[in-house]
Amino acid sequence: MYYLNIKNLTKKYGENTVLNNINLQVEKGNFISLLGPSGCGKTTTLRLIAGFEDADYGEVIVDGEKINELPVYKRNIGMVFQSYALFPHMNVEQNIAYGLEQRKISKQEIKKRVEEIIEMVQLKGFEKRKPKQLSGGQQQRVALARALIIKPRLLLLDESLSALDKKLRVEMQIELKQIQKKIGITTIFVTHDQEEALTMSDKVAVMYKGEIIQIDTPENIYEYPKTSFVADFLGQANFFRGKVISKQNELYEILLDNNKKFKFESTKPVEIGDNIILTIRPEKMNIHKEKPENTHFIKGKIEFVTYAGDNSLYRIKSLDKEVKVQKQNFKRDFSYNIGDEVYISWDKKSSLILYK
Ligand SMILES: Nc1ncnc2c1ncn2[C@@H]1O[C@H](COP(=O)(O)OP(=O)(O)OP(=O)(O)O)[C@@H](O)[C@H]1O
Ligand SMILES: [Mg+2]
């Protein structure tokens, strides 16, 4: 039995279907990310689970109990909002204790639990400060402590790290994961940062226009996306769209949308007449100055290079389209330059055939 089971969840605002039949199953203690572009329905999903909105259709079941008709305060779910929503006139301690005071818990018990949680989120020494006297990362910790102190059945985090700068965000990602693991709390984390979703999650659910397109482990969703949308949203990808016009063992030829013909090998069989999208990630392609042997390749001309420290991205005009190739900068070898004629190769196992 799944700890969290969302069945056919549907939400409309007027004529606009914002969530269309969402199904999501989460095992106890797992960390799931909802990843998708702005407006796809991530926050709405969290709001329906927490009870801030009512669903038009569907069920939310936590630990065997149907909760979607319960009022917010009876659901016992911790939510951290993107804006943190801390009470500005209360200090750290008071902000954290608020949820327990609402629940009429004894002063002594509150004191003990506030101390414990302040220790856990590393806010010792900051108890008397007001939110505006804290950094973004510290405010984030207060918001997390406030959500966790009620010992919620589920933790919902809405883009809660996105206000932090990159370095602090990565630190908070690790801290958040450690706390989550330690308490073993089942967590749904909303983000539109694909790297954050991949590094933190047991599973990633990719959403688009109110639907979950794919839910899978980070590795599977990156290496084996089911659609070109998922491939494109999680990192970068080259797409060669066209119709298969010939086949011989593992060697195929396609007529691309732009009327160029293109030969490639594939371990996955496709049929003549199929409309396919051959998909290859930029880091799985290689560039060469000389014609590579024993592999099939395409020829092109470097049009643009973006240096990003550990890697460089080469935009290469090939087959009348732009092909992106990423190269790790292991050595200080920057001998490929704009205007160079190059060959691009890849292993047939690195490509993927998609149909939409
Ligand atoms: N109260 C509301 N009334 C009408 N439409 C709404 C309401 N709340 C959200 N929407 C619409 O529902 C859709 C989904 O919104 P939601 O906030 O869930 O998106 P999101 O995936 O969280 O996006 P973002 O990444 O920008 O936060 C959007 O088109 C939004 O305009
Ligand atoms: Mg949102």
Where are the domains positioned within the chain? 4-233, 238-354
pLDDT of residue 310: 92
Q: What value, to the nearest 5°, has the Cα angle with vertex 63 and ends 34 and 55?
A: 55
Q: Which residue has the tokens 């693991």?
A: 181
Which ligand 1 atom minimizes the distance to the CA of 40? 21
pLDDT of residue 346: 94
**Atom 13, ligand 1: which residue's CA is nearest?**
39
Q: Ligand 1: does its nearest atom lie under 6 Å from the Cβ of 42?
A: yes
Domain 4-233 is found in CATH 1.10.600.10 = no
Q: What value, to the nearest 5°, has the Cα angle with vertex 133 and ends 126 and 149?
A: 45
Which ligand 1 atom minimizes the distance to the CA of 159? 27
- Which of 120, 98, 232, 94 shows the shortest CA–CA distance to 175? 120
Q: Ligand 1: does its nearest atom lie under 6 Å from the Cβ of 47?
A: no
Distance 55 CA to ligand 1 centre (A): 14
pLDDT, one tens digit per residue, over 60-78 is 999 999 998 899 989 999 9
Which ligand 1 atom minimizes the distance to the CA of 19? 14
- Angle, helices 107-120 vs 92-102, to 10°: value is 130
pLDDT, one tens digit per residue, over 210-268 is 999 999 999 999 999 999 999 999 999 999 999 999 999 889 999 999 999 999 999 88
Q: Ligand 1: does its nearest atom lie under 6 Å from the Cβ of 269?
A: no
Please classify residue 108 by burial: count the beta carbons closer than 10 Å to its beta carbon, then call 0-12 exposed, 13-18 middle and 19+ buried.
Answer: exposed
Ligand 1 pocket, mutate which of 20, 44, 81, 212 (most atoms under 8 A from CB): 44
Q: Which residues have CB less than 5 Å away from ligand 2 (the ion)? A: 43
Distance 159 CA to ligand 2 centre (A): 7
Report d(CA 15, CA 56) in Å as an integer: 12
pLDDT of residue 324: 98
pLDDT of residue 166: 82
Residues of the chain where predicted confidence (pLDDT) is lower than 50: none
Q: Ligand 1: does its nearest atom lie under 6 Å from the Cβ of 191?
A: no
Q: Which CATH architecture does the domain made up of 238-354 adopt?
A: Beta Barrel (2.40)
Which ligand 1 atom minimizes the distance to the CA of 207? 21
pLDDT of residue 171: 85
**Atom 4, ligand 1: which residue's CA is nearest?**
13
What are the residues facing 261 on neighbouring strands? 255
pLDDT of residue 104: 83
Residue 111: how many CA atoms within 13 Å on its side-chain side? Answer: 3
Distance 44 CA to ligand 1 centre (A): 6
Report d(CA 225, CA 15) in Å as an integer: 31
